[in-house]
Amino acid sequence: MNRFALPLGLFALLAVVLAIGIKHSPDKGTIASPLIGKAAPEFSLPSLTDASRIVKSSDLRGRWYVFNVWGTWCGGCRLEHNVLLQMRHADVVPIIGLDWRDNDAEALSLLSQLGNPYELIAVDHDGREAIDWGVYGAPETFLVNDQGVVVYKYIGPLTQEAWEREFLPRLPAKQAEKS
């Protein structure tokens, strides 16, 4: 009996470690953002749609918003475009866009073709703002609460299912009811 206790114990320990590994394997490849639970980066950037306007994070304080990083060069962004349009249509939470490393004229022409899901679009030509948000590949979508704190980050093209499963339940109840 005693002879088997140690090997059996070690085996059980190894099984637990491997089980934890297998359980977490679906999020392999996506990296949890250290921004979650922290204040969203402050920004003050030119607006894509209105040259005279500056998009400021301080103007967004007091409201929940979705912060979506995209670019015309980004194929995944094209995939999620319809989902974003539906979100705008449902009018649950405003979507703020960050046009990342892009050409303004191309971005505007794409939006006029496909429709504009964004309430405001900030322009990040040189990629400095994206670094502050820890962006490593578009599309990436953040949910920011009315205190200006990052609540959630989604990596990759948004789907209707992800919107319903990850975003809606995190929104305040009376806002989510609208959808």
Partner 1 sequence: MMRGCLIALLVSLVLCATAAYAVDPTQMPTPALQARYLSLTHELRCMQCQNEAIADSPVDLAADLRRQVRDMLLAGRTDDDVRNFMVARYGEFILFRPRMSMRNLWLWLTPGLLLGVGALVAVRIVQQRSRLVPQDNEPLEEDIRS
Q: Does 101 bind partner 1 (CB under 8 A)?
A: yes
**Least distance from C-beta 32 to partner 1, angstroms?**
7
Q: Does 105 bind partner 1 (CB under 8 A)?
A: no
- Dihedral, 92, 44, 126, 121 alpha carbons, nearest 10: 30
Output 128 or 165, the one with its CB closest to partner 1.
128
Rule CB under 8 A: choose which of 20, 136, 160, 172 binds partner 1.
136
DSSP 11-34: HHHHHHHHHHHHHHGGGTT----T
**Least distance from C-beta 131 to partner 1, angstroms?**
6
Q: With contacts defined by CB under 8 A, how many residues of the chain interact with partner 1?
A: 16
Listed ranges 12-20, 78-86, 105-113, 125-133: which one lies at the site for partner 1 (CB under 8 A): 125-133
Going through 22-168 in order, the beta strands assigned E by DSSP cover 44-46, 54-56, 65-70, 95-100, 120-124, 140-144, 150-155
Q: How far apart are CA 51 and CA 57, in angstroms?
A: 17
DSSP state, 168?
A: G
Output 34 or 169, the one with its CB closest to partner 1.
34
Output 5 or 51, the one with its CB closest to partner 1.
5
Tokens 């015309």 belong to 72
**Pairing of the two strands 140-144 and 65-70:** antiparallel
Q: Does 34 bind partner 1 (CB under 8 A)?
A: yes
User: By the criterion CB under 8 A, which residues form the site for partner 1?
Assistant: 31-35, 101, 126-128, 130-134, 136-137
